[in-house]
Chain A
Amino acid sequence: MKKKADVVVIGGGITGTAVLAALARYDLECVLVEREPDISMGTTKANSAVLHAGFDAPTGSMKAKMNARGNEMYHELADEFGLDIKWTGSYVCASDDEGVKTLEELKARGEANGVKGLEIIAGDKVRDKEPNLSKDIKAALWAPTAGICWPFGMAIAFAENAIANGAEVVRECEATGIRVEDGKVTAVETTQGDIETRFVVDAAGVYADAVAAMAGDKSFTINPRKGEYILFDKTAKDSLVSSVVFPVPTKTSKGILVCATTHGNVFIGPNAQDDCGREDVSVTPAGMDEIIAGAKRLVPNIPMGASITEFAGLRAVSSTGDFILGESDAADGLLLAAGIQSPGLTSAPAIAEYLTDIIVKKTGAKERTNYVKGHKAAPVFREASDEEKAALIAKDARYGRVICRCETITEGEIVEAIHGLCGATTVDGVKRRTRAGMGRCQGGFCGPRVIEILSRELGKRVPEIRKDGVKSYMYYDKSYDGGDAK
């Protein structure tokens, strides 16, 4: 790990990695520290994966500004970074007159926020596009600029681009302190040693307040709000939706949606549960009942037999209700990216641009002359044409061995994911990069094989291989040593 840097980014979620990629365009020494064994393990791995159009946030708020700019930027970044994004558009569905009135308000607010193409359409027209929606839906707000994405893939693309440009991503490295001398940030203390630096970007998600407090900024708190989800098998796709379908929003959230994923699955959720602590990502029977009931108001026949997994994520809700962005008043050199709840995923590149501009102005950093542009997505066997498949196997025979049956993921793709610039070190890390284990059998078949490949490629023994978290070891040695096997 570098002992000295210009900028240290704390937190490897979508915000931290987007910031790192934006900084990497400039001649700056950057380090990102992440406490978990992989990036994108907090809110980034458990959210709705929606790129919002931008009509929800109050006009003039940071959320509204960043959402609009972020959405616009993703339209350009998608190609450059090989991001997995589908611009499906979204519907907000109203079933009564009051709801229809809210649609009008949302439309007006969206237009004030600069969202293009908003349109209120009749229920029948909505059902022409999404035939499984409830007959009770009277009208919907159609937002053509909304989309769905693969958040982990985006964080990895951002991180790997930054690494290609000289940045360092240090995982299993927890920030434990920020040194401030004469009102200025001088170093970040971590579990792997200190890094001298002039700038710290706090992108620590649900811990952003704790990180800011390390530098003396106690001006805000983060109050995590849990959201639970149920994911459905691809076979259920035809009985659900192919885009993003919201109900009319409530005060605390955009409501329980029914939403397609970029790989042909569909999920329902999330609910919104406050006072849940910073680590509680458990799913609850009450939560699942709530999201099933909520989803049924949009799609009456939810094929519950086709559910393949449930999960929960935490929204980093700030005490101000808005994103907290920019320079901290408490310490010169501390930059905040706090309170990044929805539409945080959409806003990430805009937040990165905003913070990078501040640092560039303060340092006078120049654009990197040898900047390596973009990110090349790894080959995806199942999406390749027959000719491409044959070519992949001819180049590397391991592309001819299917490891994950449900998603048709080959050994070649898994090996590639492990040896990427920000490669997978865990079973779930392989899953997030390749989808191996993400299908209907949830790793029942490929799990042991992925462990074997990780063990071989990383030169580690099987008992050292982890599922996801720092201590998530999966298998143990047997008590006997096999000595008498002969």
Chain B
Amino acid sequence: MTEKKIYDIVIIGGGPGGLSAAKSAAENGAKSILVLERDREVGGILQQCVHNGFGLHHFKEELTGPGYAQKCYDLVKDRLEVEIMTDTMVLHIRESEGTKVVTAVNPKNGLMNVEGKTVILTMGCRERTRGAIRIPGYRPAGVYTAGAAQRMVNMEGYLPGHKIVILGSGDIGLIMARRMSLEGCKVEAVLEICPFSNGLTRNIVQCLNDYDIPLYLSHTITGIKGKDRVEGVTVSKVDDKMRPIAGTEFDIDCDTILLSVGLIPENELSRELGVAIHPRTNGPVVDQHRETSMDGVFAAGNVVHVHDLVDFVSDEAEIAGKFAAIKANGEAQPAKKDIAVNPGDGVNTCVPQHIRLADGADESVRLFMRARSPERKVTLHITDANGDVMKKPLPIVKPSEMIAVDIPAAKVKALAGDVTVSIEGGK
């Protein structure tokens, strides 16, 4: 066991969240920042996202996934405050007399305990699997999560198969529909159990429509055929409760099934540490500085709630990095007001869940929200105990697309009692 110095900040995960948090922390006065990354390189899942469309908001230019990751890395790699350890798996995090003790392991250093005044959780998310959604049938080779297949195609240079059915219209599934088409495979169908797509509109257009790939809404797989290798699927239409409708079955021949059926924030370490987890986001409950229920433990990005754009992950991680730096330097002002932010009608999730304000605080707060259902011409309505805080017309909302809204500093200062965020005027 190697005992190390106490870092200002230990960051768990070197994807876009961890790297953006490190950059911001260094810019805001943290003197020693350690980023622990389990993969061989930093960049997280971006490394396998070879398509473009990243960075328009955060870097104001269009980048590929590896390009975005490189940019995040370039911003920290020469900073003396930032130390990056790759190939390193964090096994546990615990609180010990005011510091956070992170137990990690890698082949070079072995098992180690590193200590931090603060910790930032940026572990990202993982894909929901076949088992989680209970698809009936056999369990042959040829069923992959879209992300695992993406890694094999884009990084390792192999194909998962040649005739593909994709279950779920999440963004990775849509991107993989295009990717497999470009690799010369036939994508037979994309099936979506919801009556609407769960991907970005631009991905429906650019990844399905442009390649003539049919999207079946309100359909799901009700059987997988093939004992050793996938030989086909049985597809059924579903009713409004998402139950398969008998008599609607049809078969599609295929050798591969890719699953894009949702992402789950990866919070095993957070739970073990004792951070409060929100039942709907499956991520830590955070305040506007991305501090969790535990003092000095921050969290940002997809580990808090799954974002649609990596740009928002970086934005959020920069907030966490800044306030972790302030906390590590002992400059954080104690909060005097704790305002809960609750999702109201039409809103599924809203982050942060708390706004904690110190005396004389002068800060604007950005809220991230997911709508419950797709709607047009609605109004985002924020209220507090005194009534209206603000209203914002939104031409279109979709559950797949994050809504971001800023509450200006003057209005934050005037907040009274708990805040509710609703989407009004929908069906």
Please give the residue numbers on chain A whose beta carbons come within 8 Å of chain B beta carbons, in ascending order: 230-231, 235, 279, 281-285, 287-288, 305, 307-311, 386, 389-390, 393-394, 397-402, 405-406, 408, 440-445, 447-448, 452, 462-463, 466-479, 482
- Pairwise interchain contact A472-B140, C-beta atoms closer than 8 A: yes
Residue of A nearest to B158 (CB): A475
Picked from A309, A408, A441, A471, the residue with its CB within 8 Å of the CB of B229 is A471
Residue of A398, A399, A445, A471 with highest tally of chain B CB at under 10 A: A445
Given the interface contacts A309-B129, A445-B148, does A283 sit within 8 Å of B161 by beta carbon? no
User: What A residues does B160 contact at CB under 8 A?
Assistant: 474-476
Q: How far in angstroms is the closest Cβ of chain B from A277?
A: 11
- Pairwise interchain contact B222-A285, C-beta atoms closer than 8 A: yes
Distance in angstroms between the alpha carbons of A447 and B130 in the assembled complex: 14
Further contacts, 5 of them, CB under 8 A, given A406-B268, A444-B148:
A235-B271, A281-B227, A397-B107, A397-B108, A476-B162
Given the interface contacts A283-B137, A473-B229, A476-B158, does A398 sit within 8 Å of B107 by beta carbon? yes
Q: Does B403 contact A (CB under 8 A)?
A: no
- Pairwise interchain contact B111-A408, C-beta atoms closer than 8 A: no
Q: Does B329 contact A (CB under 8 A)?
A: no
User: What A residues does B106 contact at CB under 8 A?
Assistant: 400-401
User: What B residues does A287 contact at CB under 8 A?
Assistant: 136
User: What A residues does B271 contact at CB under 8 A?
Assistant: 235
Q: How far in angstroms is the closest Cβ of chain B from A280?
A: 8
Among residues 93 to 144 in chain B, which have CB atoms less than 8 Å away from a CB atom of chain A?
105-111, 126-127, 129-132, 134, 136-142, 144
Residue of A nearest to B105 (CB): A400
Given the interface contacts A282-B223, A475-B158, does A400 sit within 8 Å of B108 by beta carbon? yes
User: What A residues does B89 contact at CB under 8 A?
Assistant: 401-402, 405, 408
- Pairwise interchain contact B139-A444, C-beta atoms closer than 8 A: no
- Pairwise interchain contact A308-B107, C-beta atoms closer than 8 A: no
Q: Does B183 contact A (CB under 8 A)?
A: yes
User: What B residues does A401 contact at CB under 8 A?
Assistant: 87, 89, 106-107
- Pairwise interchain contact B137-A478, C-beta atoms closer than 8 A: no
User: What B residues does A466 contact at CB under 8 A?
Assistant: 141
CB pairs A–B below 8 angstroms (11 shown):
A389-B111, A397-B108, A400-B107, A442-B130, A442-B131, A448-B152, A463-B158, A467-B141, A472-B141, A476-B159, A476-B160
Given the interface contacts A393-B110, A448-B151, A472-B229, does A441 sit within 8 Å of B127 by beta carbon? yes
Residue of B nearest to A389 (CB): B111
Residue of B126, B132, B139, B145 with highest tally of chain A CB at under 10 A: B139
Picked from A310, A389, A393, A467, the residue with its CB within 8 Å of the CB of B131 is A310
- Pairwise interchain contact A473-B141, C-beta atoms closer than 8 A: yes
Q: Does B184 contact A (CB under 8 A)?
A: yes
Q: How far in angstroms is the closest Cβ of chain B from A254?
A: 23
Residue of B nearest to A401 (CB): B107
- Pairwise interchain contact A478-B157, C-beta atoms closer than 8 A: yes
Picked from B1, B132, B137, B161, the residue with its CB within 8 Å of the CB of A390 is B1
User: What A residues does B228 contact at CB under 8 A?
Assistant: 467-472
User: What A residues does B148 contact at CB under 8 A?
Assistant: 443-445, 447-448
Among residues 152 to 183 in chain B, which have CB atoms less than 8 Å away from a CB atom of chain A?
152, 156-162, 183
Q: Does B15 contact A (CB under 8 A)?
A: no
Distance in angstroms between the alpha carbons of A481 and B222 in the assembled complex: 37
Distance in angstroms between the alpha carbons of A294 and B275 in the assembled complex: 35
Q: Does B147 contact A (CB under 8 A)?
A: yes
Number of B interface residues at 8 Å Cβ cutoff, please give it: 50
- Pairwise interchain contact B134-A230, C-beta atoms closer than 8 A: yes
Interface membership of chain B positions 268-279, coded 1 if the CB is closer than 8 angstroms to chain A and 0 otherwise: 100100000000
User: What B residues does A477 contact at CB under 8 A?
Assistant: 158-159
Question: Which 4 residue pairs of A and B lie closest in terms of their CB atoms, listed nearest first?
Answer: A309-B131, A467-B141, A402-B89, A397-B107
- Pairwise interchain contact B105-A386, C-beta atoms closer than 8 A: no
Picked from A309, A440, A462, the residue with its CB within 8 Å of the CB of B158 is A462
Picked from A282, A308, A394, the residue with its CB within 8 Å of the CB of B110 is A394
- Pairwise interchain contact B134-A310, C-beta atoms closer than 8 A: yes
Q: Does B352 contact A (CB under 8 A)?
A: no
Distance in angstroms between the alpha carbons of A284 and B136 in the assembled complex: 5
Q: How far in angstroms is the closest Cβ of chain A from B47?
A: 12
Q: Does B38 contact A (CB under 8 A)?
A: yes
Q: How far in angstroms is the closest Cβ of chain B from A464?
A: 11
Given the interface contacts A405-B38, A441-B126, A444-B145, does A452 sit within 8 Å of B156 by beta carbon? yes
Distance in angstroms between the alpha carbons of A242 and B148 in the assembled complex: 33
- Pairwise interchain contact B132-A308, C-beta atoms closer than 8 A: yes
- Pairwise interchain contact B158-A393, C-beta atoms closer than 8 A: no
Given the interface contacts A462-B156, A477-B158, does A400 sit within 8 Å of B227 by beta carbon? no
Q: How far in angstroms is the closest Cβ of chain B from A161?
A: 30
User: What B residues does A390 contact at CB under 8 A?
Assistant: 1, 110-111
Distance in angstroms between the alpha carbons of A389 and B159 in the assembled complex: 37
Given the interface contacts A400-B107, A478-B157, does A309 sit within 8 Å of B130 by beta carbon? yes
Distance in angstroms between the alpha carbons of A358 and B369 in the assembled complex: 72
Distance in angstroms between the alpha carbons of A281 and B127 in the assembled complex: 25
User: What A residues does B38 contact at CB under 8 A?
Assistant: 402, 405
- Pairwise interchain contact A308-B131, C-beta atoms closer than 8 A: yes
Picked from A288, A394, A444, the residue with its CB within 8 Å of the CB of B134 is A288
User: What B residues does A447 contact at CB under 8 A?
Assistant: 144, 148
Residue of A nearest to B129 (CB): A442
Residue of B nearest to A397 (CB): B107
User: What A residues does B138 contact at CB under 8 A?
Assistant: 281-282
- Pairwise interchain contact B1-A386, C-beta atoms closer than 8 A: yes
Residue of A397, A466, A474, A477 with highest tally of chain B CB at under 10 A: A474
Q: Does B205 contact A (CB under 8 A)?
A: no
Q: Does B394 contact A (CB under 8 A)?
A: no
Q: How far in angstroms is the closest Cβ of chain A from B383?
A: 31
Residue of B nearest to A408 (CB): B91
Distance in angstroms between the alpha carbons of A281 and B227 in the assembled complex: 8
User: What B residues does A386 contact at CB under 8 A?
Assistant: 1, 111
Distance in angstroms between the alpha carbons of A480 and B110 in the assembled complex: 41
Among residues 28 to 62 in chain B, which have CB atoms less than 8 Å away from a CB atom of chain A?
38
- Pairwise interchain contact B157-A308, C-beta atoms closer than 8 A: no
- Pairwise interchain contact A307-B108, C-beta atoms closer than 8 A: no
Distance in angstroms between the alpha carbons of A448 and B110 in the assembled complex: 24
Residue of A nearest to B159 (CB): A476
Q: How far in angstroms is the closest Cβ of chain A from B60?
A: 32
Distance in angstroms between the alpha carbons of A477 and B157 in the assembled complex: 8
- Pairwise interchain contact A467-B158, C-beta atoms closer than 8 A: no
- Pairwise interchain contact A389-B105, C-beta atoms closer than 8 A: yes
Distance in angstroms between the alpha carbons of A351 and B169 in the assembled complex: 52
User: What B residues does A283 contact at CB under 8 A?
Assistant: 134, 136-137, 139
Q: Does B244 contact A (CB under 8 A)?
A: yes
Distance in angstroms between the alpha carbons of A389 and B107 in the assembled complex: 11
Q: How far in angstroms is the closest Cβ of chain A from B232?
A: 13
Distance in angstroms between the alpha carbons of A406 and B228 in the assembled complex: 25
Q: How far in angstroms is the closest Cβ of chain B from A287?
A: 8
Distance in angstroms between the alpha carbons of A466 and B140 in the assembled complex: 10
- Pairwise interchain contact B136-A478, C-beta atoms closer than 8 A: no
Given the interface contacts A283-B136, A441-B129, does A400 sit within 8 Å of B152 by beta carbon? no
User: What A residues does B184 contact at CB under 8 A?
Assistant: 479
User: What B residues does A400 contact at CB under 8 A?
Assistant: 105-111
